[in-house]
Amino acid sequence: MNPRSSRTRPPAPGRPEPDQRLVEAVRAALAAAGDPERAERMRAYMKSAMPFRGVPAPALKRLCREVLPAHPVGDRASWEATVRTLWDDAAFREERYAALALTGHRGYRRWQDAGTLRLYEHLAVTGAWWDHVDEIAANRVGPILAGDPAAVAPVLLGWAAGEDVWLRRVAILAQLKAKVSTDTDLLRACLEPSLGRPEFFLRKAIGWALREYARTDPTWVLSYVAEQEDRLAPLSRREALKHHPPP
């Protein structure tokens, strides 16, 4: 059996079909660019159960710049179906990186709105690791939040208080690049449910979000850290004050 065909599943009845030409073009390009020796090192570094092809990040970006525009997807439903196929049927981690690149490609910016949050929720929950989740938070959900805070903020608050650690991390990091546009009330509300939680990736995210905002408003961050003195984990506190220690 052709291993490629074994990963091509028919869409469920009533579901839009992915652009299979694009899916196959991405897989073929990654296979041609792969380096098995590098793949093992990449897999060990990322502690990944899924194998790598061995395509470094700069080469992957070049590959996506060439392949994605060569196979444009005509409508939103097919675009999302193509993203999900690349992601859900991935046999190598770079295929998921390519799926994320497809979500952020400039040709599909018009579909970056609150309606895409369900897709990003799926990618975050099933990706369940920092290399996927941080890209989704800062570079996908964050811009959507900036464009439509009334629609997105309630979703983030639900994720922040939910059971999934990775959706909590998305909510915490969604304003990572907001700078002066940061909604501090929303930031505070997204941090609150995870204060005192034991998970490393939540403690790290809390500190990172505060550290980045401290570049814009160190006074607010210093005040918040002092206010939450007994609830902030030492890791979160160190990260938050890394560049702005208290007087």
pLDDT string in tens for the chain (247-residue length): 334 444 555 555 557 899 999 999 999 999 999 999 999 999 999 999 999 999 999 999 999 999 999 999 989 999 999 999 999 999 999 999 999 999 999 999 999 999 999 999 999 999 999 999 999 999 999 999 999 999 999 999 999 999 999 999 999 999 999 999 999 999 999 999 999 999 999 999 999 999 999 999 999 999 999 999 999 999 999 999 999 877 7
- Tell me the C-alpha distance between 207 and 240, whole Å: 5
Structure-block tokens of residue 196: 């005192």
Determine which helix (DSSP H) or strand (DSSP E) holds 228, and give its type and residue range: none
Residues 112 and 143: beta-carbon distance below 8 Å: yes
Which pLDDT score is estimated for 11? 54
Which pLDDT score is estimated for 3? 42
Which pLDDT score is estimated for 5? 40
Residue with tokens 């030492």: 234
DSSP letter assigned to residue 141: I
Measuring CA to CA, how many Å separate 130 from each of 54, 79, 232?
19, 24, 21
Q: b or e along 171-208 (b: 16 or more beta carbons within 10 Å of the residue's beta carbon)?
A: bbbbbbebeeebbeebbebbbebbeeeeeebbbbbbbb
Long-range residue pairs from 128-133, CB within 8 A, at least 24 positions apart, any chain: 128/166, 129/46, 129/48, 129/166, 130/169, 130/201, 131/46, 132/96, 132/100, 133/166, 133/169, 133/170
Structure-block tokens of residue 63: 């590959």
User: Of 136, 146, 203, which is closest to residue 167 (Cα–Cα)?
Assistant: 136
Give residue 161's identity as a one-letter amino acid code: A
- Tell me the C-alpha distance between 160 and 163, whole Å: 8
